[in-house]
Amino acid sequence: MQWPPPWRRSPLLSASPPPGPAKEFLRPGRVSEAARLYSHYVTPAEGAREGRWQTRPSLRLASPTNAPQQPPLANVCQQNYGAPQDPVEPAGLRSASHVTGSSLGKAEVSCGSRRRWAELVPESSWSPAVGASKMKVKMLSRNPDNYVRETKLDLQRVPRNYDPTLHPFEVPREYVRALNATKLERVFAKPFLASLDGHRDGVNCLAKHPKNLATVLSGACDGEVRIWNLTQRNCIRTVQAHEGFVRGICTRFCGTSFFTVGDDKTVKQWKMDGPGYGEEEEPLHTILGKTVYTGIDHHWKEAVFATCGQQVDIWDEQRTNPICSMTWGFDSISSVKFNPVETFLLGSCASDRNIVLYDMRQATPLKKVILDMRTNTICWNPMEAFIFTAANEDYNLYTFDMRALDTPVMVHMDHVSAVLDVDYCPTGKEFVSASFDKSIRIFPVDKSRSREVYHTKRMQHVICVKWTSDSKYIMCGSDEMNIRLWKANASEKLGVLTSREKAAKDYNQKLKEKFQHYPHIKRIARHRHLPKSIYSQIQEQRIMKEARRRKEVNRIKHSKPGSVPIVSEKKKHIVAVVK
Amino acid sequence: MNVNRVAESLLALSQQEELVDLPKNCPLSENEDEGDSDGERKHQKLLEAISSLDGKNRWKLAERSEASLKVSEFNVSSEGSGEKLVLADLLEPVKTSSSLATVKRQLNRVKSKKVVELPLNKEKIEQIHREVAFGKTSRVLSKWDPIVLKNQQAEQLAFPLGKEQPAIAPIEHALSGWKARTPLEQEIFNLLHKNKRPVTDPLLTPMEKASLRAMSLEEAKMHRAELQRARALQSYYEAKARREKKIKSKKYHKVVKKGKARKASKELEQLQKVNPTVALEELEKFENARMMERMSLKHQNSGKWAKSKAIMAKYDLEARQAMQEQLAKNKELTQKLQVASEIEEEKGCTEEVEELLVPHVVNEVQMNVDGPNPWMLRNCTSDIREAATQEDPEQLPEPATHEVSESEGEERPVAEEEILLRDFEERRSLRKRSELNQDAEPAGIQERKDSSSQEVLSELRALSQKLKENHQSRKQKASSEGTVPQVQREEPAPEEEAPLLLQRPERVQTLEELEELGKEDCFQNKELPRPVLEGQQSERTPNNRPDAPKEKKEKEQLIDLQNLLTTQSPSVRSLAVPTTIEELEEDEERDQRQMIKEAFAGDDVIRNFLKEKREAVEASKPKDVDLTLPGWGEWGGVGLKPSTKKRRQFLKAPEGPPRKDKNLPNVIISEKRNIHAAAHQVQVLPYPFTHHRQFERTIQTPVGSTWNTQRAFQKLTTPKVVTKPGHIIKPIKAEDVGHQSSSRSDLSVIQWNPKRITTRHNKELKKNSVG
């Protein structure tokens, strides 16, 4: 048997999308006689085909369109085809392809410029109930449940085809995206946010407020302490705290008061809030010491603070004498820091090139490591209790595991002059270092090279640096009396991000990470502009280092094998560990 | 003042009185009588005098009598005597005075004790302290190791770390202060009460609780495992059944059906033994079926189909087979069922007959049959056998005899069935393999040949086995088996055999036979099984059968016994031998060609090289790329072709850099490395990767939402560190990660610490003591 039958091969005509079930349109010519009985039911389109349209225009007026003509036509169809009676396709029989509206089970029956949508459903995919008919041509019917949202808040369903053949060249395309993302990152890298000016001498120390992100305290070389509001970027309070330098400043863990030490051999405790109207600006307590205190740090949980000078003193806030003081050798200790995680631990660095660790509970020093050059300050990792980083005079930073001091975990080198201060990001993944070379650098904890360098023309030797507690900003105080505020991620967009922005940011970040080893991308990502002094010094030091390395290699080459030990870079800078 | 004086004097007086009252032997302390020492001393002396008068050994106050310049109450000095003081000297006077016994004892004890070692110097002590403290601290710190590691390896870290769990009040708390007021609420509560739903505290109904209690966790697990197993088994069986149902082969189903019938008959036998009445009923059923069959004449050749087949049978092998099968079926169905005992009797008879007829050797063979089935062997290791048969045809007769003996399948019907099934499997697998191997031409061909011949073989085999199910055949076979020893004795020479095998293709032989069979069928329909069987027999043992039909005389000339037996795995032999010969020929040819080549080697090397170079240059040239966009800048539509001008304009290949070997006629420098692309390629394997493939894989998996679903995209692009803007990130705390932080504060520990007096204080103390 031939399919389709000859009468059905004639083009199906309809100007508009079909309004009713399929049979209506598949009326064979053979039954035109029968159909003529119901000719007033014929649709305009069919009328046109049969050429009756023009001749009997009155029919159009008489003919109702869709619904009433179904029963007789259905009968007609049945008579010829044995097609199913039910005009509407039962919902359960609709296959998935129909539902999603994809073009799988659909064929476009077109003739000339007019076209109609119909579905050619082979028998196999049809239910057995259909029975006799070999092939059924039926209209596309859509269930609004499948594409209409229930509420306005629902997401629109967007059909996507993830067939990989439709989306070729994924690697090159992603590569280009990564390249663009990297370039854009460099384009938008504008880290400098604000400069807080007001000090009349170099800023010597900085402190964060433990409870308030917007408040920052700074001590200058003229003994002045200023409290700043970062959101307004102004100074909210000025205190003449000491005569001479303010050597150290720290806030109490609750944020109600802060301590300063100065060259006038005093330790002073101040209220965080300013004095009331008419009150004198006075410290809460003043402790007069015998020697100069060079640093101070407050315990993270208790009313205890530690000062350093000739020895490390641990003070109860309520007493005027230290409850404990610890020394190991006689030298001036430049800084002392409490461990933020295991709070009974302290680290200090002295000018005799050593770093000493103390245990406050057992009132004893624990261990001492002697480096090549003096360590200026140390900072504990806030997420890893036993890790600390030391800022050294030999341009390097050393990250130590305090249980194994003989080898640093990582040597961070990029600075071209002495590193003066270091502070950890609160997430413990990065730290920032301030250097005498008029720049600050951000290092990942596990990388030996910095990922970022910040400098401005007017920024002189950076003496102190702090990473804010929300991990977004960096502050640095420098010689030329300014405190500068930087973004921790140079190209980060500040403020609230929409979800799409966030997704794009994450995607770009991921792409940059994925393609970071590609030479083009690496070059662009690493490119930084540096002031000439730093740039030339870097070149110079590279030459020096290379020469040293060459000499070392030569020495090894020309001496008896094994007689010249090969010392790793990590071990090179450690002189000794004293128990 | 006066009053004071009076009081003092009174006090002194009372003291004196007290002294008097004191017991006499009690020594008096000096400090009490400072006021009037003179009187006191006199009084003492008086007391002594009195005591000495007594004459008894009384305790005396010892008096010092050393002549020492410096007398100290703290130490003994021997400066005056000029000699060293020894403990023994001191002890000497003690011996005499028994009153010093206690001192003596003490001194002895001191003597027996060891000397205390000198204390370590301070630095050493401090160092030890430090070391101990350090060890303790490192131990405390090492509890952070797993946490640090976890955080380092975490896919994502969300800061701030310590999440405040929103305290969710249990529903009971919310309910406790609430009562049903509106009628609807009351109704609901009524319903809840009616159904014994707990309204407040215990959120489980008594039923639920009981059920919870009823099954422990392990029990539940076991139960679940059992269920899972059952489900799995069911699914396996279902799958198997479906698979079997799908098999279209009629033969297979026939075999299965036969197996079932056999099983049923066995069961019937058993039933007879156990429950004869039921068995009788069953038998009746069989009888009924037989009667129906006889009535209907369904399977006889009177039907329309059968007639048409009869006509076709002349020309068509399959039709013939179908007819035969139908008749066999008819026979089977119309056969009267024998009672089991009768069958057994018969069997016994036949066995006896067999024993009579069969010589001794056959028994041995039969014993062998119990061993590895040669067909099975062949199935498993057909390839190996192929090789083996090529190598030593001497081994062939034995398996052949196996087969002969095996063909009395009645005794081991199950095995036979298995063989058939296996055959099917084999055939199917072969077909598949051959389909797969069509690329590899020679192998594929061989396989196909193999499979086709095997198909024929298996068909034949099936036919024979079906026929042999009749009882009559057995006796004849017994006679045929008589020939076996002969076969074994006559070791055929392999050289003779091979050509014979080559001459006689397997298929033709069988076809001929079958044709003859068909002829017979046409002549005498009713006796159909018989001639077929005869034919089969004749094939098996053409020489030795006395009642072999005469039509096969001419064939017998061809088929002699040895050949037949050696070709029990005929497909193998007949195929393998010629191919090897062909290979040999090929080898020879190749050798010859090689020789020719060698002889004319170096003939055209230069031109070859030039050609090669030209090819290389051509290959390295960039290919033209059609960049024309039809419809761009001109009329568009289906079937339009872009103009030649445009094509010329856009059909361009970029001009590559000049080749390095352009001016070197004798050199080809490969320039496959594209320097333009190299700028975008990673030169060295980056650090964390150990193999370039690893790295490539990471690059090749796309991250973007173009290639991934939304969920996957989000998962792939999660940032490593997430921070909340405007939130203070506090340092990690022991409580955050589930550790117990020390309950005592650091401060209190310091204040409790006995070593609170620090080194500095010590120093100051020391200074004081020195000064």
- pLDDT tens per residue, range A212-269: 999 999 999 999 999 999 999 999 999 999 999 999 999 999 999 999 999 999 999 9
- Mutate one of B126, B134, B696 to test the A interface: name it (highest A CB count within 10 A): B134
Work out the average pLDDT over A319-327: 89
Under 8 Å between Cβ of B741 and B734 = yes
**Under 8 Å CB-to-CB from B547, ≥6 apart: which residues?**
B534
Task: Taking the CA atoms of A143, A146, A147 and A150 in sequence, report the sign of the dihedral they define.
Answer: positive
- The answer, for A469 touching chain B at a CB cutoff of 8 Å, is yes
- The answer, for B686 touching chain A at a CB cutoff of 8 Å, is yes
A324 shares its domain with A354: yes
Task: Taking the CA atoms of B713, B716, B718 and B719 in sequence, report the sign of the dihedral they define.
Answer: negative
Specify the range with the lowest mean pLDDT, choosing from A540-549, B62-71, B221-230, B576-585. Answer: B576-585
> Residue A234 is encoded by which pair of tokens?
């102004």
- Residues of A with Cβ-Cβ distance to B725 under 8 angstroms: 470, 472, 496
* Cβ within 8 Å, pair B703-A511: yes
Q: State the complex-level ipTM.
A: 0.75
Q: Which range in A449-463, B413-427, B755-769 is most confidently predicted, on average pLDDT?
A: A449-463
- Residues of B with Cβ-Cβ distance to A579 under 8 angstroms: 127, 130-131, 134
Helix (H), strand (E) at residue A50 = none
Under 8 Å between Cβ of A272 and A212 = no
A308 shares its domain with A370: yes
**The domain boundary residue, chosen from A499, A534, A560:** A499
Under 8 Å between Cβ of A326 and B769 = no
A525 shares its domain with A397: no
- Residues of B with Cβ-Cβ distance to A213 under 8 angstroms: 726, 728
Work out the average pLDDT over B341-349: 46
**Under 8 Å CB-to-CB from A533, ≥6 apart: which residues?**
A437, A438
Chain A: residue nearest B146 by CA?
A: A384
- Residues of A with Cβ-Cβ distance to B759 under 8 angstroms: 326-327
A456 shares its domain with A337: yes
- The answer, for B754 touching chain A at a CB cutoff of 8 Å, is no
* Cβ within 8 Å, pair A509-B713: no
Can you give the pLDDT at residue B306? 80
**Under 8 Å CB-to-CB from B215, ≥6 apart: which residues?**
B223
Distance in angstroms (rounded) separating the CA atoms of residues A465 and A474: 7
Largest CA distance in chain A: 124
Nearest-5° Cα angle at A494, A493 to A495: 125
Under 8 Å between Cβ of B268 and B339 = no
- The answer, for B721 touching chain A at a CB cutoff of 8 Å, is yes
Q: Is residue A568 part of a domain?
A: no
Largest CA distance in chain B: 177
- Mutate one of B676, B715, B729, B740 to test the A interface: name it (highest A CB count within 10 A): B729
Task: Taking the CA atoms of A300, A304, A309 and A310 in sequence, report the sign of the dihedral they define.
Answer: negative
Radius of gyration from C-alpha coordinates of chain B: 59
Under 8 Å between Cβ of A22 and A74 = no
- Mutate one of B137, B157, B681, B756 to test the A interface: name it (highest A CB count within 10 A): B137
Distance in angstroms (rounded) separating the CA atoms of residues B475 and B491: 27
Helices (H), A6-114: 6-9, 32-37, 44-49, 58-62, 70-81, 96-100
> Which residues 361-420 of A are in CB contact (within 8 Å) with B?
361-367, 382-387, 402-403
A365 shares its domain with A474: yes
> Residue A312 is encoded by which pair of tokens?
């490390």
Looking at the DSSP assignment, which residues form a beta bridge with residue A477?
A464, A483
Q: Closest Cα partner for A212 from A196, A228, A190, A188?
A: A228
Chain A: residue nearest B704 by CA?
A: A507
**Percentage of residues of chain B with pLDDT beyond 90:** 12
Total CB pairs under 8 A between chain A and B: 193
- Residues of B with Cβ-Cβ distance to A337 under 8 angstroms: none
Task: Taking the CA atoms of A221, A315, B130 and A290 in sequence, report the sign of the dihedral they define.
Answer: positive
- The answer, for B746 touching chain A at a CB cutoff of 8 Å, is yes
A428 shares its domain with A520: no
* Cβ within 8 Å, pair B758-A363: yes
Q: Is residue A100 part of a domain?
A: no
Distance in angstroms (rounded) separating the CA atoms of residues A485 and A501: 25
Distance in angstroms (rounded) separating the CA atoms of residues B555 and B264: 42
- Residues of A with Cβ-Cβ distance to B714 under 8 angstroms: 503
Looking at the DSSP assignment, which residues form a beta bridge with residue A326?
A312
Distance in angstroms (rounded) separating the CA atoms of residues B487 and B480: 11
A514 shares its domain with A378: no
Under 8 Å between Cβ of B320 and B525 = no
- The answer, for A7 touching chain B at a CB cutoff of 8 Å, is no
Distance in angstroms (rounded) separating the CA atoms of residues B82 and B67: 12
> Residue B165 is encoded by which pair of tokens?
């769990």
A480 shares its domain with A522: no
pLDDT tops 60 at residue B296: yes
Q: Which CATH number goes with the domain that contains A461? A: 2.130.10.10
Question: From residue B317, how far is each of B121, B309, B515, B521 by CA, in Å?
Answer: 116, 10, 7, 12
Q: Is residue A111 part of a domain?
A: no
* Cβ within 8 Å, pair B136-A362: yes
Specify the range with the lowest mean pLDDT, choosing from A250-254, A413-417, A434-438, B626-630. Answer: B626-630
Can you give the pLDDT at residue B525? 45
Task: Taking the CA atoms of B194, B200, B202 and B204 in sequence, report the sign of the dihedral they define.
Answer: positive
Q: Is residue A236 part of a domain?
A: yes
Looking at the DSSP assignment, which residues form a beta bridge with residue A378?
A390
* Cβ within 8 Å, pair B144-A384: yes
Using one digit for the tens of pLDDT, what is the confidence trace for A503-541? Answer: 999 999 999 999 999 999 999 999 999 999 999 999 999
> Which residues 343-362 of A are in CB contact (within 8 Å) with B?
343-345, 359-362
Can you give the pLDDT at residue A531? 94
Helix (H), strand (E) at residue A432 = strand A430-435
Under 8 Å between Cβ of A441 and A397 = no
Using one digit for the tens of pLDDT, what is the confidence trace for A70-82? Answer: 443 334 333 334 3
* Cβ within 8 Å, pair B758-A384: no
3-state secondary structure of B701: coil
Q: Closest Cα partner for B12 from B40, B28, B38, B35?
A: B35
pLDDT tops 70 at residue A50: no
**The domain boundary residue, chosen from A499, A528, A562:** A499
The number of domains in chain A is 2
Residue type, B367: M
CA B130, distance to chain mean position in Å, is: 52
Identify which of A366, A503, A507 has the shortest CB distance to residue B130.
A366
> Residue B509 is encoded by which pair of tokens?
């032989």
> Residue B491 is encoded by which pair of tokens?
């070791």
Residue type, B149: L
Specify the range with the lowest mean pLDDT, choosing from A403-417, B122-136, B295-309, B354-368. Answer: B354-368
Residue tagged 């009888």 (tokens): B287
Q: Pseudo-torsion of CA B442, B445, B451, B452, nearest 10°?
A: -150
Strand order in the sheet with A135-139: A107-111, A114-122, A135-139
> Which residues 98-127 of B are in CB contact (within 8 Å) with A?
126-127
Chain B: residue nearest A493 by CA?
A: B725
Distance in angstroms (rounded) separating the CA atoms of residues A348 and A246: 19
Residue type, A294: T
Work out the average pLDDT over A373-395: 95
Using one digit for the tens of pLDDT, what is the confidence trace for B525-552? Answer: 444 444 444 444 444 444 444 444 444 4
Instruction: Report residue B441's pLDDT band, with 50, 70 and 90 as the boundaries.
Output: very low
Strand order in the sheet with A440-444: A419-424, A430-435, A440-444, A452-454
Question: From residue B308, how far is each of A406, B316, B323 by CA, in Å?
Answer: 102, 12, 10
3-state secondary structure of A509: helix
A232-257 b/e (C-beta count within 10 Å ≥ 16 → b) = eeebebbbebbeebbbbbbbbbeeeb
Distance in angstroms (rounded) separating the CA atoms of residues A520 and A518: 6
Helix (H), strand (E) at residue A134 = none
Burial class (CB in 10 A: 0-12, 13-18, 19+), B437: middle
Distance in angstroms (rounded) separating the CA atoms of residues B529 and B550: 18
- Domain holding A431, by residue range, is 192-499
* Cβ within 8 Å, pair B713-A507: yes
* Cβ within 8 Å, pair A519-B719: no
Q: Closest Cα partner for A489 from A449, A409, A429, A413?
A: A429
- The answer, for A303 touching chain B at a CB cutoff of 8 Å, is yes
Q: Is residue A405 part of a domain?
A: yes
Q: Is residue A341 part of a domain?
A: yes
Work out the average pLDDT over A199-224: 95
A307 against B424, higher pLDDT: A307
For residue A82, is it left (φ>0), alpha (ψ between -120 and 50) or beta?
A: left
Identify which of A175, A210, A510 has the shortest CB distance to residue B716.
A510
- The answer, for B139 touching chain A at a CB cutoff of 8 Å, is no
* Cβ within 8 Å, pair A316-B756: no
Number of H helices, E strands in chain A: 11, 32
3-state secondary structure of A324: strand
Number of H helices, E strands in chain B: 36, 4
A426 shares its domain with A335: yes
Show contacts of A280-283: CB within 8 Å, 24+ apart: A281/A239, A281/A240, A283/A241
A494 shares its domain with A505: no
* Cβ within 8 Å, pair A341-B144: yes
Question: From residue A12, how far is each of A17, A45, A62, B110, B198 by CA, in Å?
Answer: 12, 9, 23, 130, 68
Q: Is residue A340 part of a domain?
A: yes
To 10 degrees, what angle do helices B317-334 and B529-540 make? Answer: 120
Can you give the pLDDT at residue A207? 96
Distance in angstroms (rounded) separating the CA atoms of residues A125 and A128: 9
**The domain boundary residue, chosen from A463, A480, A499:** A499
A223 shares its domain with A238: yes
Chain A: residue nearest B718 by CA?
A: A506
Q: Is residue A537 part of a domain?
A: yes
Under 8 Å between Cβ of B451 and B431 = yes
- The answer, for B305 touching chain A at a CB cutoff of 8 Å, is no
**Beta strand segments in A89-187, E:** 107-111, 114-122, 135-139
A76 against B114, higher pLDDT: B114
Chain A: residue nearest B158 by CA?
A: A427
Distance in angstroms (rounded) separating the CA atoms of residues A520 and A516: 9
A495 shares its domain with A505: no
Instruction: Report residue B172's pLDDT band, with 50, 70 and 90 as the boundaries.
Output: low
B554 against A469, higher pLDDT: A469
Q: Report chain A's mean pLDDT, rounded to a whole number.
A: 81
Can you give the pLDDT at residue B182? 87
Gap from B44 CA to chain A (nearest CA, Å): 57
Q: Closest Cα partner for B259 from B106, B468, B378, B420?
A: B420
